[in-house]
Amino acid sequence: MTQPGTAGNPLRVAIIGAGPTGFYTAEHLLKQTNLSVEIDLFDRVPTPFGLVRAGVAPDHLKIKTVTAVFDKTATHPHVRFYGNVEIGKHLTVDELKMHYHQIVYTTGAQTDRRMDIPGEDLAGSHPATDFVAWYNGHPDYRDLQFDLSQEAAAVVGIGNVAIDVARILCRTPDELLKSDIADYALEALRHSRVRTVYVLGRRGPVQAAFSNPEIKEVGEMADVDVIVPPAEVTLDPLSQAELDRNNDRTLFRKVEILQEYGRHEPTGKSRRLIFRFLVSPTALEGDETGHVKMMRLAHNKLVATDTGTLRPKATGETEEIPVGLVFRSVGYRGVPVPGVPFKESWGVILNQKGRVLNPETQQPQVGEYTAGWIKRGPNGVIGTNKPDAVETVMCMLEDLAHGQTLTPARPDVAALADLVKARQSNYFSYADWQRLNEMELRRGQEQGRPRVKFTSVAEMLAALGRA
Ligand code: NAP
């Protein structure tokens, strides 16, 4: 057999996870001029695009236009999409090794980090990631229930996900109509009684993880007063020194925006979005039915660590806030792919620059790679995954040049297609997705909305006439 990557023996690549990183990986492989490649993109859900569909906020439609580029990749003649196919369930990694020269895991970060405080699992306390997947119509989360009859909610963490959740809780039904939020979530939020939303940061404004457009946007919503206690956005000497040292215009502006909010007087809008800084939840307390009713907060001051970063330290002062709904938004976390080495402490696949490492020898496992959040952790925006995927592809090409690939017994495209059909007859091709996409857009048009999503696999199969 000739060297893989030639016309007679195309390089067979499986990409596990059809989110942005999966597409960036495929795109960069296809760009190689002297490489013959056949790529199969797998996803556990029927639809492609990962967090662009199930994570990006439904009112951030512009960000989702990135899928136009992914469309080009997916419709390339040397690329196939297999949706509703789960590795570890329908196909094993060992089976993939019999069909591919190289396998890339781009599964993202599918769960959340915990706060580890008493009461965290009371009814009414949820991971923000569940709420995000629910309002975005992810099939696995559509049946979750959130008690929106509560008056006050708290979002813990001050990253962009926290801002997304707070914004969706605060939007009016008319604003939500303009989004592609799942129809059941639109209906539930239409009847929401939540009127006060706290967003809680354990450190100060200089350390806030959200970005400036996101924090500005909350002040532009239709029916929300943004409230920031001025004392909590007045910088302590350590934060002021950090700000001056960084000399970063964006960071100066972020502090300015928050301090401007601190000077605003509430104008009697029907919802209140309250940003608090230097507070850490220490416990949630429930009512007699076991439903969260109150959050205990410790007040913090900032202290410098040996490395110079500022960390929160409890001052001893405490406070209680009455909340009936809590969303912890303290970061995503990756979950292992069965059969693939995992670094538990970081929640990522054990790897170096994208080469999967053997946990015993710490040497690369031939033919296995990773990219995106499951490689480096859940940080950065969608575009951050592009250079990350390129780094992984460079390793793949380097290893290919040195003859370091798997030696699959059945590298032909048809053999794998047959195996998928045998294991998961309800797999979705990219053509299936294109039909669903058109139907979703049409349903949207009929209701004066950008899109009305299909949110269950059964619904999608029925729409394609495959029920
Ligand atoms: P993130 O940016 O890492 O923010 C996590 C937040 O949780 C931080 O404020 C962190 O505070 C806080 N936190 C962590 N542990 C905590 C604890 N035990 N108690 C209280 N607070 C705690 O994560 P994310 O918001 O999930 O976002 C993930 C990535 O997606 C980010 O890179 C984000 O920018 C990106 N994203 C972007 C957009 C957008 O561009 N519009 C939208 C959504 C997500 P400390 O700093 O003190 O640790």
pLDDT (tens digit, 9 = 90+) per residue, 326-342? 999 999 999 999 999 99
| Spatial CB neighbours of 341, under 8 Å, sequence gap ≥ 6 | 349, 350, 356, 357, 358, 359, 365
pLDDT tier at 13 (50, 70, 90 boundaries)?
very high
Residue ranges and CATH numbers for the domains of the chain are 11-110+334-428 (3.40.50.720), 113-329 (3.50.50.60)
CA distance linking residue 15 with residue 68, whole number of Å: 19
What sign has the CA pseudo-torsion 47, 49, 50, 51?
negative
Report the C-alpha gap between 455 and 88 in whole angstroms. 23
CA of 243 to the centre of ligand 1 (A): 19
CA 442 to chain centre: 27
| Ligand 1, atom 25, residue with closest C-alpha | 159
276-296: average pLDDT: 98
CA of 114 to the centre of ligand 1 (A): 13
Provide mean pLDDT across the span 306-316: 95
Half-sphere exposure of residue 410: CA atoms within 13 angstroms, side-chain side: 12
pLDDT tens digit sequence for 102-141: 999 999 998 999 999 999 999 999 999 999 999 999 999 9
Separation between Cα atoms, residue 410 and residue 400, nearest integer Å: 18
Query: If you measure from the C-alpha of residue 345 to the centroid of ligand 1, how many angstroms do you get, rounded to a whole number?
Result: 18
- The CA distance from 83 to 434, in Å, is 12
* Ligand 1 atom closest to 203 (CA): 47
* Phi, psi at 407, each rounded to 5°: -120, 80
CA of 358 to the centre of ligand 1 (A): 30
Distance from the first to the final alpha carbon of the chain: 43
Output the average pLDDT for the chain: 97
Q: For residue 374, give every residue at least 6 positions away whose Cβ sits within 8 Å of its Cβ, in sequence order, or none.
A: 17, 105, 106, 107, 108, 109, 334, 337, 348, 349
**Given CA atoms 421, 425, 426, 432 in this order, what sign does their dihedral have?**
positive
Q: Which residues contact 412 (CB under 8 A, 6 or more apart)?
A: none
pLDDT (0 to 100) of residue 20: 98
User: Model confidence at 153, in pLDDT bands (50, 70, 90)?
Assistant: very high
Ligand 1: nearest atom to the Cα of 60: 41
Q: What is the pTM of this model?
A: 0.96
Residues 359, 140 contacting (CB under 8 angstroms): no
Specify the residue with its C-alpha closest to ligand 1, atom 18: 115
CA–centroid distance, 366 to ligand 1, in Å, is 34
pLDDT digits (tens, 9 = 90+) for 346-360: 999 999 999 999 999
Best residue for ligand 1 mutational test, from 62, 330, 379 (most atoms within 8 Å of Cβ): 330
pLDDT digits (tens, 9 = 90+) for 39-68: 999 999 999 999 999 999 999 999 999 999
Residue nearest to atom 42 of ligand 1 (CA): 160
Helix boundaries (H) for 326-384 = 373-376
The SS3 call for residue 304 is strand
| Cα of 331 from ligand 1 centre, angstroms | 5
| pLDDT over 80 at 467, yes or no | no
Using a 6 Å CB cutoff, which residues line ligand 1? 115, 156-162, 164, 201-203, 207, 209, 214, 280, 329-332, 378-381
Which tokens go with 462?
């029925």
Beta bridge partners of 281: 297
Predicted local distance difference test score (pLDDT) of residue 110: 87
Contact 152, 193 (CB under 8 A): no
Burial of residue 175 (CB within 10 Å: 0-12, 13-18, 19+) is middle
Q: 201: CA distance to ligand 1 center in Å?
A: 10
Count the Cβ atoms, other than its own, within 10 Å of residue 186. Answer: 19
pLDDT at 209 (0 to 100): 97
pLDDT per residue as tens digits for the range 181-205: 999 999 999 999 999 999 999 999 9
Q: What per-residue confidence (pLDDT) applies to 1?
A: 64
In three-state secondary structure terms, 231 is helix
